[in-house]
């Protein structure tokens, strides 16, 4: 009898010499007729621990190797989809220029108030490890949000609870009206 061969995606490669492969199949729903995806996970033997999570592989049925493993990996169909990751270790000249431009833009856009000194430290990886003092008008977002509620609390008088209206006398609750019994239709006479 020929051995079954399935293809699927490696979901986990954490166990030693084992990969967990999710095999999806598309079937038509018996009642609604919509095409749905069903999936099942298989534990497959990977002798050299060569397959990684996310790769497309083909697995083949084999004699039981352990309680869960009765499949072995044949080959790789597609590589795993790698996410693009950019690693920046220190402040670059472009990033510093963009930050300086953003600060200058914020100074022009912010309303004129008393200048506030802000200390900005350079990153530890950067060559220059000195503090830079920048005088700028307070930004609307963080400083204004902190200052505005304090001023608002001081200016507004405390709110009083609204006076409750008390009715002179409550009317007794009325009992719900009873429904009249439904009339039955007259029975038809049987013809004899």
How far is the C-alpha of 184 from the C-alpha of 172, rounded, in Å? 36
When pLDDT is averaged across residues 85-107 and rounded to a whole number, the result is 73
Residue 13 pLDDT greater than 80, yes or no: yes
pLDDT of residue 134: 47
Q: Is 33 left (phi over 0), alpha (psi -120 to 50) or beta?
A: left
Residue 104 vs residue 61, higher pLDDT: 61
pTM to 2 decimals? 0.44
* Interval 75-97 mean pLDDT: 73
- In this predicted structure, the answer to whether residue 50 has a pLDDT above a threshold of 80 is yes
Q: Which tops the pLDDT comparison, 100 or 86?
A: 100
What is the per-residue pLDDT for 102?
80
The Cα 124–Cα 186 span in angstroms is 97
Q: What is the pLDDT of residue 48?
A: 93
Task: Decide if pLDDT at 91 tops 70.
Answer: no
The per-residue pLDDT for 94 is 75
Whether the per-residue pLDDT at 141 is higher than 70: the answer is: no
95 with 39: CB under 8 angstroms?
no
Query: What is the rounded average pLDDT for all residues in the chain?
Result: 75
Whether residue 18 is predicted with pLDDT greater than 80 in this model: the reply is yes
Overall average pLDDT of the 87-114 stretch: 70
Confidence of residue 117 (pLDDT cuts 50, 70, 90): low
CATH of domain 5-77: 2.40.50.140
- Give the Cβ contact number of residue 53 at 10 Å: 13
Quickly count helices (H) and strands (E) in the chain. 2, 7
Separation in Å, CA 60 to CA 4, 33, 42, 102, 133: 6, 31, 11, 59, 67
Report pLDDT for 114: 53
Q: What integer pLDDT is reported at residue 143 of this predicted model?
A: 45
DSSP 79: -
Q: Where are the domains of the chain?
A: 5-77, 112-151
**Average pLDDT of the residues in 137-154:** 48
Contacts (Cβ under 8 Å, ≥6 apart) of 1: none
The secondary element (H helix, E strand) that includes residue 145 is: helix 142-155
More confident residue, 67 or 133: 67
- Which value, to the nearest 10 degrees, does the dihedral of the CA atoms of residues 184, 188, 189, 190 take? -130
Residues 6 or more apart whose CB falls under 8 angstroms from that of 60 comprise: 3, 4, 5, 71, 72, 73, 74
């Amino acid at each position: 009898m020929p051995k079954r061969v399935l293809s699927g995606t490696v979901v986990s490669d954490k166990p030693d010499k084992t990969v967990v492969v999710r095999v999806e199949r598309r079937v038509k729903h018996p009642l609604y007729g919509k095409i749905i995806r069903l999936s099942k996970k298989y534990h497959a033997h990977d002798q050299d621990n060569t397959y990684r999570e996310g790769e497309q592989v083909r697995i083949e049925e084999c004699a039981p190797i352990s309680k869960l493993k009765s499949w072995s990996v044949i080959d790789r169909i597609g590589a795993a989809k790698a996410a693009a990751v950019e690693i920046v270790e220190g402040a670059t000249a472009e990033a510093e220029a963009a930050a300086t431009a953003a600060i200058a833009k914020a100074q022009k856009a912010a309303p004129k108030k008393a200048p506030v000194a802000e200390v900005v430290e350079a990153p530890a990886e950067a060559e220059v490890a000195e503090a830079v003092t920048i005088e700028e008008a307070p930004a609307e977002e963080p400083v204004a949000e902190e200052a505005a509620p304090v001023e608002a609390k001081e200016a507004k008088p405390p709110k009083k609870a609204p006076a409750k209206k008390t009715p002179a006398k409550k009317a007794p609750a009325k009992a719900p009206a009873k429904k009249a019994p439904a009339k039955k239709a007259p029975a038809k006479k049987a013809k004899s």
